Amino acid sequence: MATNLKWPSVLALLLVAGMVGIASAGNIAVYWGQNVNEGTLADACSSGSYAYVIISFLSTFGSGQAPVLNLAGHCNPGECAGLASDIQSCKSQGVRVLLSLGGAGGNYGLSSTDDANSVADYLWDNFLGGTGSTSRPLGAVALDGIDLDIENGNPAHYDELASALKAKDGGVLLTAAPQCPYPDASLGPALQTGLFDAVWVQFYNNPGCAYAGGDDANLVAAWRTWTGGVRAGSFYLGLPASEEAAGSGYIPPGDLTGTVLPAVQGVGGGYGGIMLWSRYYDVLKNPNYSDQVKGSV
């Protein structure tokens, strides 16, 4: 091996090496935390399938409520600090770990600008890089960012929450999971801030803009609308990881890699990969959905 590399060449090699963990994962994001049979968080990260693992959900927050972390059977609310070692393991492998706010259930919402700022402070101090809290529901390790999966139809003040999080020291990695009908009823104004690093649009349980019966026309049209109407770091195709994971929108692996992905990648607009709901449904079948598609994602 030559030893006379110029500094820019060395830097380039280091950057490539630093990205190997994420690049080899095929740019797949997955939600984890809503079924105890999906395995541990550490297992999800060590699978080599995912670039992002999204802990779901902080299902109660805002409007003066005490925040509640609901991770189904993985741990009881207030007793999840033991996940810190799993999170650290994920981070050491180059997998980014985020906390998702909201979900289809839960009791959440923001009542004012002050409320949005208060929730941002709570997230920073309890889950991210802040030091203003000793409770730390997931232990002392800092997560990489915050995901907004807001599905209750109330869009108020989430744009201010996003701005407050991005204003924190060094900023916060922000992602969002809107429904594919555009604009999203809950996240429309927030997404127009242009502050989100990744947007994984849910192309399932929405027949009007999802894949159905071998036809991807509605999906591709919706993808074009999203990537043309929202400014974000990258866009991910949100999909169910098995037929059981959603009422509609499942795309067989061969159809995804052979037809749908080439179509959306051809549109341009910052394609980043795919998001899967969820880790449980991904491990439900053998071989896993992610294993079948990650080489083409």
Contact 184, 152 (CB under 8 A): no
What is the SS3 assignment for 99?
strand
Contacts for 21 with CB less than 8 Å, ≥ 6 apart: 51, 93, 94, 95
Catalytic sites, residue numbers: 151
Burial pattern 40-77, b for ≥16 Cβ within 10 A else e, equals ebbebbbbebbbbbbbbbbbbbbeeeebbbbbeebbee
Measuring CA to CA, which residue among 184, 194, 200, 187 is closest to residue 238? 200
Measure the CA–CA gap between 145 and 52, rounded to whole angstroms.
10
Q: Which two tokens stand for residue 249?
A: 């929108």
Measuring CA to CA, which residue among 81, 191, 62 is closest to residue 140? 81
Is the Cα dihedral 105, 110, 175, 74 positive or negative?
negative
Measuring CA to CA, which residue among 296, 126, 140, 272 is closest to residue 201? 272
Measure the CA–CA gap between 121 and 110, rounded to whole angstroms.
14
Measure the CA–CA gap between 288 and 11, rounded to whole angstroms.
36
Measure the CA–CA gap between 47 and 283, rounded to whole angstroms.
11
Burial pattern 251-263, b for ≥16 Cβ within 10 A else e, equals bbeeebbeebbee
Contact 103, 149 (CB under 8 A): yes
